[in-house]
Amino acid sequence: MIEFVNVSKKYNHEVTALENINLKIEKGEFVFLVGPSGSGKTTFLKLMIKEEEATSGKILIDSKDITKIKKKEIPFLRRKFGFVFQDFRLLYDRTVAENIIFALRVVEASEREIKNQLQTSLEMVGLKGKENFYPNQLSGGEQQRVALARAIATKPPIIIADEPTGNLDPVTAEGIFKTLEEINSRGTTVIVVTHAKDVVDKMNKRVIALKEGKIIKDDMQGGY
């Protein structure tokens, strides 16, 4: 589903962010991407959604080399991804339901799809009954669940979660990871960037570790 083939990224032809990356993430995998600040994690994500261009190599999404797609194709590429961020990135002047509906309208979902997916996504993240709340009426963990509901509402095949629990307490964070695991169990590929070593060790999923732009570990048995 996702394959990097000899991918390197240099900024200003001097700073190497990623060097000769080769990896494959299969459909339905749950992968942790770990490493210290400056190791290349953010660049890896940006290349995958074409926010940055690779300096060399190929990046295949569903067997299509996205390094060669036209600019007008990029929005359709990004529809394959649902995004969850550390700072939630919710619309605070809109209700929970309106935040999710906004994402569905962007992908031109029908009114019937909007109604169905709104309820389905809220149920999956345990927020049924909170439709008319505003984000600032919710706890941090609930806000992150809204972000999760918004990410899965459009039924993307891939979820990218970038430090999704960085602002949450350990108990709430564990609940978010369990929800991600449930989403993954339904066939969605999940890629999580995190520094939560205890969770990574406990969940026993594939771990890809980066350091100075290189893969230093790719372990199917988990462990930070």
Is position 58 within any domain? no
Is position 8 within any domain? no
Is position 16 within any domain? no
Using the CB atoms, write b or e for 76-110: b if 16+ within 10 Å. ebbebbbbbbbebebeeeebbbebbbebbeeeebe
Is position 100 within any domain? yes
d(CA 157, CA 190) in angstroms, rounded, equals: 9
For residue 110, the enclosing domain spans 27-51+75-219
CATH code at position 113: 3.40.50.300
pLDDT band at 195 (very low <50, low <70, confident <90, very high): confident
What SS3 class is residue 5?
Answer: strand
C-alpha dist (Å) from residue 76 to 26, 49, 100, 140: 20, 10, 19, 31
pLDDT band at 125 (very low <50, low <70, confident <90, very high): very high
The pLDDT of residue 129 is above 90: yes
The pLDDT of residue 117 is above 80: yes
Helix axes 111-124, 96-106, angle to 10 degrees: 130
Q: Model confidence over 76-101: pLDDT tens digits?
A: 999 999 999 999 999 999 999 999 99
Number of domains in the chain: 1
Is position 70 within any domain? no
The pLDDT of residue 55 is above 90: yes
Cβ-contact 189, 29 below 8 angstroms: yes
> Within 10 A of 29 (CB to CB), how many other CB atoms are there?
18
Beta strands 189-193 and 30-34: pairing type?
A: parallel
Beta strands 214-219 and 206-211: pairing type?
A: antiparallel
Cβ-contact 26, 1 below 8 angstroms: yes
The model carries a pTM of 0.93
pLDDT band at 133 (very low <50, low <70, confident <90, very high): very high
Is position 193 within any domain? yes
